[in-house]
Amino acid sequence: MKKQIIQSDKAPSSPLYGQGVRAGSVIYVSGMVGIDAATGQLAGATIQEQTRQALRNCKAVVEAGGGRLEEVAQVTVLLADPADFAGMNEEYARVFVTEPPARAVARLGVELPDVLVSIMMTAHVED
């Protein structure tokens, strides 16, 4: 099975990793933080602002790979501070209103200046 690297100008990128990879009908989205690709800056200083933007970034990559958020099967959320769990959940619940995907939440292992959250997704796309 050939893998396809997914690129979107609507999400932040780096030469160190692909924003996403599609292998067959599965889309893997790299950890996306709350950076606005248009400005190159964090979307804000709060967990809500950064979660909202990180989810937008993930959505952009899923869509660039030919998928939809409704096809996301699994999400991993990494928080810099576990105390931000409730604030992250506020924004997360606005995106996954019904039939939410499986999810894991853990602590972000590396310290990135001012970054509060990183979100990864896996989607299974109907062809």
**85 Cβ contact partners less than 8 Å away, ≥ 6 residues apart:** 79, 105
The pLDDT, as a whole number, for residue 56 is 98
Rounded CA-CA distance 80/110 in Å is: 8
Instruction: Convert the pLDDT of each residue in 90-102 to its tens digit.
Output: 999 999 999 999 9
Measure the CA angle with vertex 125, ends 85 and 95; round to 5°. Answer: 30
- CA angle 17/68/116 to nearest 5° reads 50
pLDDT band at 104 (very low <50, low <70, confident <90, very high): very high
Superfamily of domain 3-124: RutC-like (3.30.1330.40)
Average pLDDT value for residue range 54-82: 98
- Residue 122: pLDDT over 80: yes
So what's the pLDDT on residue 126? 84
Q: In what order do the strands lie in the sheet with 102-107?
A: 3-6, 20-23, 26-33, 117-124, 72-79, 102-107
The mean pLDDT of the chain is: 96
pLDDT band of 49, cuts 50, 70, 90: very high
Which two tokens mark 61?
Answer: 């990559």
Mean pLDDT of 83-93: 98
If you ran DSSP here, which 8-state letter would residue 17 be given?
Answer: B
Regarding beta strands 3-6 and 20-23, do their DSSP bridges make them parallel or antiparallel, or are they unpaired? antiparallel
As beta bridge partners, residue 29 has: 20, 121
> Model pTM?
0.96
pLDDT band at 70 (very low <50, low <70, confident <90, very high): very high
In angstroms and rounded to an integer, the radius of gyration of the C-alpha atoms of the chain is 14
pLDDT of residue 21: 98
